[in-house]
């Protein structure tokens, strides 16, 4: 049998085994999917049973058509869930039948409760009807709990079925994989044994042929691909033998060809000389390209240096540790704005001014005289005098002081330094003038015109146009520009400090935002895990309570555990609300509706209430109804004999005050400040007055307690101006 056929058979059997394993896995996966669907329906039934339980209590406490309609809707949903549940196991069918019976009994009991309640309201009797109502409600509660218990029992049976399917699947797949591995090993041993002999014979024959024995014949052992390869080796040996004979014959022909090759070497040498000449030309072209590349590299280096200077300037401006000495004055001041302001000042006073950086570069200039712009700063020698006067002669001048000096071109100048953050970055100049009480040496300027090649008449005419000021004017101008230089220094330093502060603030805010996002994600995941575990613990406590029926001590401990779980759930919900505080922007909310929304989450029994806020709206956090819910809960939990709650408002010059008051026992003076602390009070809720104050304070609303002990609690919430309005009107 050929190796290819053996391998094909092996692969076919291997594929069949793999398909069997996949089939087992797929079949088990479908069974598990069906079980998961049944488990999901059972979970929904449990939730519906819990919801019916709470809706029954709501109907018993409050009555009305809305709880009745909600109960019927939830009961219809429960009916659909039971009908959607398809079971094959006999024990599961038995529990399902019991659940269906409990469902029907539950409907009958609730109908009886509705009938009793309706009859009580129609006849007005409270004796027998009340007892019958309580008995019916108790029966309904027991049937609901029985339905929940059977739902939990059915859930356990389905989970056990899922476990059995998983174990059976693991065993089948493990056995199939073991068979597959065994088959692979056996197949490997069989094929390996048949192939090794043929390969050994081929190896020995190849070694003899490689040593030069072309008369060797390889023995054919098997009738497969290796046998065919042996025949090919024998044919190849015969071909090699013939080829060797041909090579000996052609050796003489190669010697003749060698003689011809020598004749062509002279031609090759000549062509080599031509190639060398071409190489020299290429070298010259390469040298030229190298020069161009060097120029490009130099330009690139200049660009990098320019980028580095810009980066250093930004670092000096924005970094708190930046050195102002790395900046030019032009990087700090607004040259265009100062130039425009100095142009206007010169048009008003005819007094020129210039601002130069520490290197002598002119940034702002106005009112300069022709003797400087057309003569002194045009000639290289006199321009060098100007540069020396602008830089060296003003060194050592203290900030806030002014230096008056005669430049080397014989013009008077005034200078005061510009110092920013303790660093000398430039100078402010007022110059190119003469004093009224001094005589001008015309001969000096004539000789200067001759020395530097100026046109003498034009140069002297420009000298005549130089302004002459009295010394009082110069002193006044000197004082003004000293103050102006200090103002430029102060404003520039303030701008740099502000830019650094803003940069540091933005960095800090970004860091805080990232940390807050991470904390929010962690808090959300933790709450989800806690909520899941709370539901599981509640289910186990409910089952344990049923199993401990008649054991009062154990039931008491279980009820304590249930209270602890409810407290944990309440704390979890509090952390979610507390995290959400301030997350969304404030919005306009109707005060009356917000109080009603807060009231909808709790039951106040027979307590009367009145909401007298009319169409008042306030700008507050979206959790405002949670804050008002806390006020309702506080009166119910701590007000004692509260029978009436009133909400009103008063418009004041500072805004509007919303008042929430009851007629309960009130709060003593020593507790008024502590009631807004976290966890204050023996029975304080996590959503206590601390939570109320936190929500209100987000938009600047303050709250305080102003009631009298024995007359009831009174909470005054002050809403600032601009944060309240009447519906359809502004404040």
pLDDT in tens, 80-133: 888 888 887 888 888 888 888 887 888 888 888 888 777 655 555 454 467 777
Decide if pLDDT at 317 tops 50: no
Quick one: 138 and 48 in the same domain?
yes
Highest mean pLDDT among 172-181, 568-577, 651-660: 651-660
Instruction: Answer whether residue 719 is part of any domain.
Output: yes
pLDDT score for 293:
67
Residue 202 token pair: 């081929």
Q: Of the candidates 151, 169, 192, which is a domain's last residue?
A: 192
Quick one: 549 and 591 in the same domain?
no
Quick one: 401 and 452 in the same domain?
yes
Quick one: 509 and 646 in the same domain?
no
- H/E/C letters for each residue in 401-423? CCEEEECCCCCEEEEEEEEECCE
CA distance 696 to 678: 15
Do 407 and 431 form a contact (C-beta atoms < 8 A)?
yes
Instruction: Answer whether residue 400 is part of any domain.
Output: yes
pLDDT score for 672:
86
Quick one: 25 and 161 in the same domain?
yes
Quick one: 65 and 133 in the same domain?
yes
pLDDT score for 701:
94
Task: Please provide residue 355's backbone torsions phi and psi, each rounded to the nearest 5 degrees.
Answer: -120, 125
Decide if pLDDT at 649 tops 60: yes
Task: Please provide residue 564's backbone torsions phi and psi, each rounded to the nearest 5 degrees.
Answer: -65, -40
Quick one: 572 and 589 in the same domain?
no
pLDDT score for 76:
87
Decide if pLDDT at 213 tops 80: no
Q: Looking at residues 463-476, what average pLDDT do you find?
A: 84
Give the pairing type, strands 608-611 and 644-652.
Answer: parallel
Q: Looking at residues 382-408, what average pLDDT do you find?
A: 75
Instruction: Answer whether residue 384 is part of any domain.
Output: yes
Quick one: 629 and 498 in the same domain?
no
Contacts (Cβ under 8 Å, ≥6 apart) of 371: 411, 432, 459, 462, 463, 465, 466
Query: Which percentage of the chain shows pLDDT scores above 70?
Result: 81
- Check which CATH number belongs to the domain holding 707 and give it: 3.30.565.10
Q: How many residues does the chain have?
A: 731
Decide if pLDDT at 328 tops 50: yes
pLDDT score for 515:
64
What is the domain range of residue 433? 333-580
Instruction: Answer whether residue 277 is part of any domain.
Output: no
pLDDT score for 619:
94
CA distance 29 to 417: 86
Contacts (Cβ under 8 Å, ≥6 apart) of 507: none
Decide if pLDDT at 681 tops 60: no
- Residues 484-534: tens digit of each pLDDT: 766 776 776 676 677 667 777 777 767 766 666 666 666 666 766 777 887
Quick one: 607 and 487 in the same domain?
no
- Residues 69-80: tens digit of each pLDDT: 888 888 888 888
Quick one: 567 and 669 in the same domain?
no
Quick one: 546 and 589 in the same domain?
no
Decide if pLDDT at 297 tops 90: no
Quick one: 467 and 373 in the same domain?
yes
Give the pairing type, strands 616-620 and 587-590.
Answer: antiparallel
- Residues 23-71: tens digit of each pLDDT: 878 888 888 888 888 888 888 888 888 888 788 777 777 777 888 888 8
> Exposure string (b/e) for 36-69, b if CB count within 10 Å is 16 or more?
eebbebbebbbbbbbbbbebbbbbbeeeeeebbe
- Residues 347-365: tens digit of each pLDDT: 877 777 788 887 778 888 8
More confident residue, 197 or 33: 33
Instruction: Answer whether residue 676 is part of any domain.
Output: yes
What's the total number of domains in the chain? 3
- Residues 253-262: tens digit of each pLDDT: 787 777 777 7
Instruction: Answer whether residue 316 is part of any domain.
Output: no
């Amino acid at each position: 049998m050929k190796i290819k056929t053996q391998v094909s058979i092996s692969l076919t059997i291997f594929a069949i085994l793999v398909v069997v394993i996949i089939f087992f896995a797929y079949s088990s996966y479908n069974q598990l999917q069906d079980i998961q669907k049944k488990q999901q329906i059972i979970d929904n039934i449990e939730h519906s049973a819990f919801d019916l339980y709470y809706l029954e209590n709501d109907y018993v406490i409050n009555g009305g058509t809305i709880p009745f309609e909600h109960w019927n809707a939830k009961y219809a949903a429960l009916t659909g869930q039971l009908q959607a549940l398809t079971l094959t196991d006999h024990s599961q069918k038995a529990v399902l039948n019991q659940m269906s019976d409990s469902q029907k009994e539950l409907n009958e009991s609730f109908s009886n409760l509705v009938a009793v309640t309706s009859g009580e309201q129609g006849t007005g009797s409270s004796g027998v009807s009340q007892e019958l109502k309580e008995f019916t409600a108790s029966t309904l509660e027991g049937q609901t709990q029985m339905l929940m218990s059977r739902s939990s029992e059915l859930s356990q049976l389905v989970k056990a079925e899922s476990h059995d399917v998983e174990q059976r699947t693991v065993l089948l797949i493990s056995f199939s994989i073991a068979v597959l591995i065994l088959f692979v090993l056996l197949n490997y041993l069989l094929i390996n044994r048949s192939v090794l002999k043929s390969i050994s014979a081929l190896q020995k024959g190849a070694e003899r042929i490689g040593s030069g024995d072309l008369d060797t014949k390889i023995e054919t052992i098997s009738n497969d691909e290796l046998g065919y390869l042996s025949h090919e080796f024998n044919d190849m040996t015969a071909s090699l033998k013939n080829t060797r004979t041909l090579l000996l014959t052609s050796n003489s022909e190669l010697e003749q060809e060698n003689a011809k090759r020598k004749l062509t070497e002279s031609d090759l040498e000549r062509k080599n000389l031509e190639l060398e000449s071409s190489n020299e030309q290429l070298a010259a072209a390469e040298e030229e390209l190298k020069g161009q590349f060097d120029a490009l590299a130099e330009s690139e280096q200049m660009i990098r240096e320019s980028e580095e200077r810009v980066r250093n300037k930004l670092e000096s401006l924005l970094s708190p540790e930046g050195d102002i000495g790395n900046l030019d004055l032009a990087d700090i001041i607004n040259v265009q704005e100062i130039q425009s302001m100095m142009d206007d000042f010169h048009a008003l006073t005819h007094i020129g001014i210039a601002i130069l950086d520490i290197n002598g570069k002119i940034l702002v200039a106005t009112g300069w005289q022709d003797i400087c712009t057309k003569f002194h700063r045009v000639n290289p020698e006199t321009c060098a005098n100007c540069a020396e006067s602008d830089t060296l002669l003003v060194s050592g001048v203290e900030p806030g002081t002014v230096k008056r000096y005669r430049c080397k071109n014989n013009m008077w100048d005034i200078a005061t330094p510009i110092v920013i953050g303790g660093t000398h970055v430039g100078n402010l100049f007022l110059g190119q003038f003469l004093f009224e009480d001094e005589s001008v040496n015309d001969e000096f300027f004539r000789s200067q015109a001759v020395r530097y090649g100026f046109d003498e008449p034009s140069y002297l005419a420009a000298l005549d146009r130089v302004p002459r000021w009295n010394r009082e004017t110069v002193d006044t101008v000197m004082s003004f520009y000293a103050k102006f230089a200090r103002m430029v220094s102060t404003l520039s330093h303030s701008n740099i400090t502000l830019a650094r502060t803003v940069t540091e603030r933005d960095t800090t805010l970004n860091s805080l935002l990232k940390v807050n996002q991470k904390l929010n994600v962690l808090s959300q995941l933790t709450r989800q895990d806690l909520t899941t575990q709370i539901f599981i613990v509640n289910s186990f406590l409910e089952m344990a309570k049923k199993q401990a029926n008649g054991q009062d001590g154990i039931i008491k401990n279980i009820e304590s555990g249930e209270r602890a779980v409810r407290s944990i759930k309440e704390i979890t919900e509090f952390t979610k609300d507390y995290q959400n505080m301030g997350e969304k922007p404030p919005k306009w909310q109707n005060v009356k509706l917000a109080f009603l929304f807060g009231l909808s989450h709790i039951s106040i029994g027979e307590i009367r209430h009145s909401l007298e806020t009319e169409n008042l709206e306030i700008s507050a956090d979206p959790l405002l109804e949670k804050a008002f819910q806390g006020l309702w809960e506080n009166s119910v939990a701590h007000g004692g004999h509260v029978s009436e709650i009133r909400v009103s408002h008063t418009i004041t010059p500072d805004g509007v005050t919303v008042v929430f008051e009851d007629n309960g026992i009130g709060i003593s003076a020593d507790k008024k400040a502590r009631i807004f602390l976290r966890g204050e009070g023996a029975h304080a809720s996590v959503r206590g007055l601390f939570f109320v104050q936190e929500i209100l304070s987000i938009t600047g609303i303050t709250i305080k307690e102003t009631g009298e002990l024995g007359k009831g609690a009174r909470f005054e919430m002050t809403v600032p101006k601009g944060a309240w309005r009447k519906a359809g009107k502004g404040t």
